[in-house]
Structure 1
Amino acid sequence: MADLHLTNVPDALHERLRQHTIERNCTMSAAVLDAIERELARREWSKHLATRPTTDFGIEVASLITEVRTSRDA
């Protein structure tokens, strides 16, 4: 397994990470690895989504959402 060392981490970010690890009861390494994995997965999903064809509903999505909410709340 490879090592990764971070330098020049801003104090505010380090403190946020420290608080996060306390809340999750995990190590800094585990929290950073989890964040990196989630970000890479998010980027891969975004790339995948960008390759999918668009769908034309014949109506603007905002109007469709408003229509559904209105009918649901009635």
Structure 2
Amino acid sequence: MGFLRVIRKWALRDKMPIREIARRTGVSRNTIKKYLREGIVEPSFRTPDRPSKLDPYAEKLSGWLVSEQRKSR
């Protein structure tokens, strides 16, 4: 079920207060009001693909984790 569909269901059908919806979802009350007011279907934001700072060291780190996992406690 879509995120906005859940918000609309709680607000319109279940008559849940906006403050409670914001607390359950972790989204700002202003954002919830905006979603209810506008007729948008889903949020249109995208997270850009960014390389991690640890990517150059990923092979070495995973090797360390595997070797530590094999050791007895």
Q: Could you say which structure has the greater relative contact order, defined with CA pairs below 8 angstroms and 6 or more residues apart? A: 2
Please report the TM-score for the alignment, with normalisation by the length of structure 2.
Answer: 0.29
Give the helix-richer structure, 1 or 2.
1
Please report the TM-score for the alignment, with normalisation by the length of structure 1.
Answer: 0.28
